[in-house]
Structure 1
Amino acid sequence: MLSIDEIKKPIATEIDVFEDKFKSSMHSSVPLLDRITHYIVKRKGKQIRPMFVFFSAGLCGGINEATYRGAALVELLHTATLVHDDVVDNSYQRRGFFSINALWKNKIAVLVGDYLLSKGLLLSLDNNDFSLLKIVSEAVKQMSEGELLQIEKVRKMDVGEPIYYEVIRQKTASLIASCCACGAASAGADTETIEKMRLFGEKTGIAFQIKDDMFDFGLDDVGKPLGIDIKEKKITLPLIYALNKASKSERKNIINLVKNHNEEPEKVAEIIAFVKDLDGLVYAENQMSKYQEEAFAILNTFPEGQFRTGLEQLVRFTTERKK
């Protein structure tokens, strides 16, 4: 599989320019805020979301100034949600670094998240990017709804496949879908093309999340701590499938372990073994591949070229990764 730097090559210059623009978009007249946003920028990840925006724009008409603003809007609003999520989850680390709330406490973290949201809104409004703002705002709404739906279902331990797919469609896939739709919209694509790209991103996002959920059960032995989702009482696809295959007594026992013994290592190991024994990972892998192929089917309706190839490679990177 190609590395992210190899995939990025056709748009490497654009990504470099974007990073400078993104830093500028976060600037403030408050020294404390500038210190915090500088800390955020220094710890940005692989820039996969902006890559989806730029490749999609290139595929649908061409990269322009609106594309840079669309990518910045996605990153500003997404970063704001991450800062707020860390407060909600009492999480003190993000990608191996201290979270904003760990370093500057909850009150400041919430205000920083609010600031990033407002910067994203103003960036769009000041440039009359109403279509981009509508696309990304819809994604943020869906992400919030997905999180609340998951919390509600976790409390009741009431999660079947339809609910699982709705949660991950809203929580994860809506953001990648908004990246692809923003790219297309920034390039001046028509409504039908924008919707095709949105759907392509949604299928990719669902495949990505299924793969991510599989790691919790020891897929590929990547060295990642196992059972994190179990400890948070999240019922994901591998476990849902195994529960559906299990006898009534087995199902009752496993649900009891998830609800009441999810902090005990030996019980978590028992749940993981149960999922593997009943082919939960095999089923999830097949479902992930199905959504990946559906994404490729949409992508293949567009003309061949470096941007289509870049998106295909990006899908493979996000869904076939080993960690």
Structure 2
Amino acid sequence: MKITEQIKQPIAHEMELFEKKFYEAMSSKVALLNRITFYIVKRKGKQMRPMFVFLTAKMISGGTINERSYRGASVIELIHTATLVHDDVVDDSNRRRGFFSLNALWKNKIAVLVGDFLLSKGLLLSIDYGDFDLLRIISVAVREMSEGELLQIEKARRLDITEDIYYEIIRQKTATLIAACCSLGAASVNPESEDVEKMRRFGELIGMAFQIKDDLFDYTEDSIGKPTGIDIKEQKMTLPLIYVLNNCTKQEKSWLINSVKNHNKDKKRVKEVIAFVKNKGGLTYAEQKMGEYREEALQILSTYPASEYKDALSLMVNYVIERKI
């Protein structure tokens, strides 16, 4: 059994029910909108976000969840989908997970409007049922994701990112959404308890490890045995590179910065950068940091009693670090 199937097993029933509820939450009187939302549902990914919501809720409640848990999962999925649709427009991207993006099929104007529609649907779903605590958690996440993206754009122009700024960017851009899922799960079954903050931190730690793992993919072999170097080509500052920039000679530093800024399309030069980062211990350092986040996340889990939901969350922590894609 694939590890993702194993993680999903204790909440298989909830995930099935969630899909129906999520599709209902997206419905509209406008035929064009329904056609587009049907397309969105059809191309769904691994659905990690609702999985986090349900596993956290069930671990904390001892196995029962309520309508608030389903609404929380639907709201986060609606709002997350809205941000993805808008991202594709911002990045002028034509594909997402092997499917055409909405803007590629229906043009930017429609894609932006669909994103707005999904966002308002998410907000209304919370307001209609008075789930203001859940709405606050999600709204903070959306604000932080936008700030993280803008902070990255601001810093990337100068390639002067310190390790602390890098952590702040990935905390906002990537970790804040997983943190919101886990705190949502806790808040849906045990509002205003210390579990809400504990699980927020747990999700944040997983998100940090997840992003560092993504950074490492740039330096590891792809399916045809070649390091990808995509981040270098896009001038993205990742942890292995930041570490090496801060731990090499002045001469090496200016060569690195010059390579990333001015020679990022030169395959031979990108290969040299990858080799240099590896030799200077950049990957080892990033792996060590990722391991620290994993340990702290597992430490939080260890404070909860044994259950299949806790086991699934432990699997999820390890999956994030050991995944191959």
Q: TM-score range by the shorter chain?
A: over 0.9
Q: Does 1:13 align with 2:9?
A: no
Alpha-carbon contact 2:6-2:312 (below 8 Å) kept: no
Superposed CA deviations along residues 125-184 of structure 1, whole A, max 9, x for unmatched, are: 011111110001100100000000000000111101001000000000000000000000
- Aligned twin of 1:173: 175
Alpha-carbon contact 2:15-2:51 (below 8 Å) kept: yes
Q: Does 1:271 align with 2:276?
A: no
Distance in 1 between residues matched to 2:25 and 2:123, nearest whole Å: 11
- Aligned twin of 2:35: 35
Q: Give the letter for the 2:268 counterpart.
A: E
Aligned with residue 146 of structure 1, among 148, 155, 178: 148
| Aligned residue runs from structure 1 range 174-189, under 5 A | 174-189=176-191
- Aligned twin of 1:287: 289
| Aligned residue runs from structure 1 range 113-262, under 5 A | 113-218=115-220, 221-223=222-224, 226-262=228-264
Return the offset for 1:189: 4.0
> Structure 2: which 5+ residue stretches go unaligned?
none
Alpha-carbon contact 1:2-1:317 (below 8 Å) kept: no
Distance in 2 between residues matched to 1:77 and 1:135, nearest whole Å: 12
Identity of aligned residues (%): 62
Distance in 1 between residues matched to 2:209 and 2:223, nearest whole Å: 19
Distance in 1 between residues matched to 2:238 and 2:275, nearest whole Å: 15
Q: Secondary structure of 1:28's match?
A: coil
Number of residue pairs matched by the alignment = 322
Alpha-carbon contact 1:178-1:198 (below 8 Å) kept: yes
Return the offset for 1:315: 1.3
Aligned with residue 98 of structure 1, among 73, 97, 100: 100
Alpha-carbon contact 1:52-1:183 (below 8 Å) kept: yes
Alpha-carbon contact 1:10-1:306 (below 8 Å) kept: yes
Distance in 1 between residues matched to 2:191 and 2:131, nearest whole Å: 14
Alpha-carbon contact 1:57-1:63 (below 8 Å) kept: yes
Q: Give the letter for the 1:294 counterpart.
A: E
Q: Give the letter for the 1:123 counterpart.
A: L
Return the offset for 1:112: 0.8
Q: Give the letter for the 1:21 counterpart.
A: K
Distance in 2 between residues matched to 1:128 and 1:228, nearest whole Å: 44
Distance in 2 between residues matched to 1:91 and 1:230, nearest whole Å: 19
- Aligned twin of 1:57: 57
Q: Secondary structure of 2:114's match?
A: helix
Over 3 Å counting, the alpha-carbon distance change for 1:317 and 1:178 in structure 2 is same
Distance in 2 between residues matched to 1:190 and 1:163, nearest whole Å: 31
Alpha-carbon contact 2:148-2:173 (below 8 Å) kept: yes
> What TM-score, normalized by structure 2, do the two folds share?
0.96
Alpha-carbon contact 2:178-2:204 (below 8 Å) kept: yes
Return the offset for 1:267: 2.1
Over 3 Å counting, the alpha-carbon distance change for 1:2 and 1:316 in structure 2 is farther
> Structure 1: which 5+ residue stretches go unaligned?
none
Distance in 2 between residues matched to 1:225 and 1:77, nearest whole Å: 34
Distance in 2 between residues matched to 1:33 and 1:183, nearest whole Å: 29
Q: Give the letter for the 2:148 counterpart.
A: G
- Aligned twin of 1:77: 79
- Aligned twin of 1:322: 324
Return the offset for 1:222: 4.3
Return the offset for 1:225: 7.0
Per mean C-alpha deviation after superposition, the further-off stretch among 190-199 and 160-169 is 190-199
